[in-house]
Structure 1
Amino acid sequence: MSHGTSRKDLRSGRGRQTRTFRATTGALERLALAGARVAVHVTDLDRAEVVLAGDDHLALPVGGLGIVPLLIETAARIEARTLDPHQLIDRPKTKRPAPTGLWRAMAAPTLPVVDLAVLAAAAGDAAATNALLGVVGHENVTRRIVDLGMPRSALLDGFRAERGPDDAPHLALGTAREFADLFAALAGGTAVDAGVSERVVTWLSPVTDAGLVGSAIGADPFSHEPDGHGVVHFAKTGREKGVRAEAGVLAGRRGAFAYALLVAFDDETLLDRQRAHAAFHALGGDLLEYAT
């Protein structure tokens, strides 16, 4: 949803009349009026029906959300027995370490592939992501993205402490439609196959970055046990300067949804950032209302 998008540009599907996503559309309109670029896509998984969409075909920067195809390629190789899940991988040695994550603060200089996948998926660990990318290979991830049916999405690079003029301008690009469809496939066990999908969903759970859509649930981001409210949520977020992105699945007793929300904004003041976060909080509230 680009600058100037009006309410009629946000299409509601033919679901129940109560599913208006009013809070979400209002927050997205305010973002668009402030000059942000926004894209959203929500699918009702039970009905296989799009219930909210706006500029979901636009390729926008997605930050760490873009590593999900890397996780899928890693899982596919483990399932095919072409990659040993317990193979030890050295922490990348650079003068300026990757900017985010836990591994840089840990004593262990080597970790097995499966632990790197968990760190990359659940904690957004930059060094773990770069190590996995080195093992799996960028070209193979690119081919996997094509095979997954994501022609407008790309993992452009690994994490960098700084991006110079010769580097890719962003870690990854993607569309809301393609990432929502990818998470629907993970939920349905069709992202490559059931074994690969289950493994990736396990890596993505729990959602430790609960500050965006996940904030509506109020769950313990470090707990591996059900919270007793019948909500299932797995997701991946992406954060860069001026970029917030999240795609995932939220399911409850009354419904299940795959979603993606991408926002590119001028991160010049805290108000800019709060306005962007408010859109994710609104989407989380709407999804929780309709799912539970």
Structure 2
Amino acid sequence: MGTSEPVEGFRNSSGSDATPGRRAQRASRRLPRRAAVGRRSFTSTVRALEELADAGARVSVHVVDLDSHVHVLSGDDHVTLPVAGLGVVPLLIEVAAGFESGTLDPLEIVERSDADQVTTSGLWRHLHAPALPLEDLAVLVATSGDPIAANVLLKRVGHDRVRERLESLGLRRTALLDRFRDQRGPDDAPHVAVGSTRELAGLFSALVNSQVVDAAVSAQVAEWLSLNQDLSLAAASTGLDPFAHEHDAHGLLFINKTGRDRGVRVEAGVLAGPRAGVAYALVVCFDDLSIAHRLRAHDVFRVLGIELMEYTH
């Protein structure tokens, strides 16, 4: 499936090896560990991730319990990897902070032509409206990852302010490197954004705990992300309506953001049910040689989603 470096290993909170007999076969890797005592383990997720890593993919995962703050599953969660469109979350945080402080007017009208265009994806390029208010652009970015809307917001806010915001939040392995582009040349940043799953899961945990900038900013960003319509990866296991899931009849609290690029699939979010709540992040980088390779990467997210649901319900 690829030629990337193998995953370092997976850990969870109990400290016992799930498959000790394989230690001699993989001397360079720490082996999976069982999940928190009294909870369902993430055995299937660990197995799926190891199989994908053995096939050459690079994988990174982090799951943390919102109440106990125990890291119930982790693997290579310190490694910085490309996160594609998930990089808009720091941008949304800076935009929300600007609205809260008054340095940005949510109703300021900005032109679509103010930023470089992207023709390969997005909704705004299909709309007749040539200009929209900043707050509407934030909604477009959160719900569909619209690249033109993100580029316009980034130009209005500036890379420096996003970088400073990340630094103030203590995020050292997460960065929004560049705008969205149809093509990346040798003089462009190699990726839109990078991050580690430990930091990304921690960021989503902080959002729902009102710890990102302040309570108002956290609530605004969480509200925008609750509108995200991409529930096709780990979120597919929630059974939520992609177009109306912010008030679930079964009391499921869920926010997420995904990222997609050639050979990159990413998701981070928060899932809370009647038994527990978790923040999670998963990155898979793979050689996108065929539909089969791509679907195999997608399957890992769905396995994680099922076990997240089992953990929280």
Global fold match (TM > 0.5)? yes
Deviations 1:135-160 (A, max 9, x none): 11111101111111111111110100
Corresponding residue of 2:29: none
**Residues 225/94 of structure 1: CA separation in 2 closer, same or farther (3 Å cut):** closer
2:303 matches 1:263: no
**Residue 211 of structure 1, CA deviation:** 0.6
Where do residues 27-42 of structure 1 align in structure 2 (5 Å cutoff)?
27-42=48-63
Deviations 1:60-99 (A, max 9, x none): 0000001111000000010001110000011036786342
Corresponding residue of 2:10: 10
Which of 171, 176, 185 in structure 2 is aligned with 1:164? Answer: 185
Letter of the structure 2 residue corresponding to residue 170 of structure 1: H
Q: Contact 2:7–2:58 at 8 Å: present in 1 too?
A: no
CA distance in 2: counterparts of 1:98 and 1:194, whole angstroms: 36
CA distance in 2: counterparts of 1:183 and 1:228, whole angstroms: 23
Q: Contact 1:99–1:126 at 8 Å: present in 2 too?
A: no
Corresponding residue of 2:209: 188
Q: Contact 2:142–2:227 at 8 Å: present in 1 too?
A: no
Corresponding residue of 2:40: 19
Which of the two has higher C-alpha Rg? 2
Corresponding residue of 1:60: 81
**Residue 224 of structure 1, CA deviation:** 4.9
**Residue 225 of structure 1, CA deviation:** 4.9
CA distance in 2: counterparts of 1:95 and 1:251, whole angstroms: 38
CA distance in 1: counterparts of 2:115 and 2:137, whole angstroms: 18
**Residues 96/87 of structure 1: CA separation in 2 closer, same or farther (3 Å cut):** closer
CA distance in 2: counterparts of 1:255 and 1:95, whole angstroms: 43
2:164 matches 1:152: no
Q: Describe the SS at the equivalent of 2:113.
A: coil
The count of aligned residue pairs is 289
CA distance in 1: counterparts of 2:174 and 2:246, whole angstroms: 33
Deviations 1:73-127 (A, max 9, x none): 0000100011100000110367863422110000100001111001001111000
Which of 272, 282, 287 in structure 1 is aligned with 2:303? Answer: 282
**Residue 19 of structure 1, CA deviation:** 3.0
Q: Contact 2:256–2:269 at 8 Å: present in 1 too?
A: yes
CA distance in 2: counterparts of 1:4 and 1:95, whole angstroms: 37
TM-score (norm 1): 0.95
Paired-residue identity, %: 52
**Residues 249/93 of structure 1: CA separation in 2 closer, same or farther (3 Å cut):** same
CA distance in 2: counterparts of 1:104 and 1:130, whole angstroms: 12
CA distance in 2: counterparts of 1:253 and 1:211, whole angstroms: 23
Runs of 5+ consecutive residues of structure 2 not aligned to the other structure: 15-35
Q: Contact 1:247–1:258 at 8 Å: present in 2 too?
A: yes
Corresponding residue of 1:76: 97
**Residues 112/82 of structure 1: CA separation in 2 closer, same or farther (3 Å cut):** same
Q: Contact 1:100–1:124 at 8 Å: present in 2 too?
A: no
Deviations 1:251-278 (A, max 9, x none): 0000000000011110011111111101
CA distance in 2: counterparts of 1:92 and 1:268, whole angstroms: 35
Letter of the structure 2 residue corresponding to residue 236 of structure 1: K
CA distance in 2: counterparts of 1:101 and 1:170, whole angstroms: 18
2:221 matches 1:200: yes
Deviations 1:202-235 (A, max 9, x none): 1111230011011001211111552312211101
Q: Contact 2:256–2:267 at 8 Å: present in 1 too?
A: yes
CA distance in 2: counterparts of 1:4 and 1:102, whole angstroms: 37
Which of 243, 247, 266 in structure 2 is aligned with 1:226? Answer: 247
Corresponding residue of 2:17: none
**Residue 22 of structure 1, CA deviation:** 1.1
Where do residues 220-259 of structure 1 align in structure 2 (5 Å cutoff)?
220-259=241-280
